[in-house]
Amino acid sequence: MSNSIVHILNNDCPHCLKGKVFNEKSIFLNFGFPKMNEYCSHCNYKFEKEPGYFFGAMYVNYGLTVAQGIATYVIAQFFFKETFDLRIIPIIAVVIIAMASINIRLSRLLWIYMFKNYSM
């Protein structure tokens, strides 16, 4: 399990663990919509199995976004006197917008790794 997390964060191919899923070297600190490779450059593994394969990754992205919003609220509440101060909402919005590009890449990688063949 911990090996898979390292490979996900390194943007490695789920089949051979040597190629890259996205064109970028790192999934972090990239802005804009991600550009995925259609096939792995090392083992020729096809990342998108069928049209609409990554629709399920939207649910993973939603879960990541909600978790980040809750974590931001929990951290930000210590800096305000009231339990729920309305000034926390823009802080949560800024964090969610800043993390959107990373969430797209991370959710697609998680989706690919959830459905890879582990019996090999």
State how far the Cα of 13 lies from the Cα of 1, in Å rounded to an integer. Answer: 15
- Does 120 fall in a domain? no
- Does 36 fall in a domain? yes
Give yes or no for residue 120 having a pLDDT over 60: no
Contacts of 91 (CB under 8 A, 6+ apart): 72, 76
Domain count, the chain: 1
State how far the Cα of 58 lies from the Cα of 52, in Å rounded to an integer. Answer: 11
Q: What is the pLDDT of residue 67?
A: 96
Domain of 85 in residue numbering reads as 4-115
- Does 15 fall in a domain? yes
74 Cα distance to chain centroid: 21
- What residues form DSSP beta bridges with 39? 46
- Does 93 fall in a domain? yes
* Residue that the structure tokens 């917008």 belong to: 97
Residue pLDDT, tens place only, 14-25: 888 888 888 876
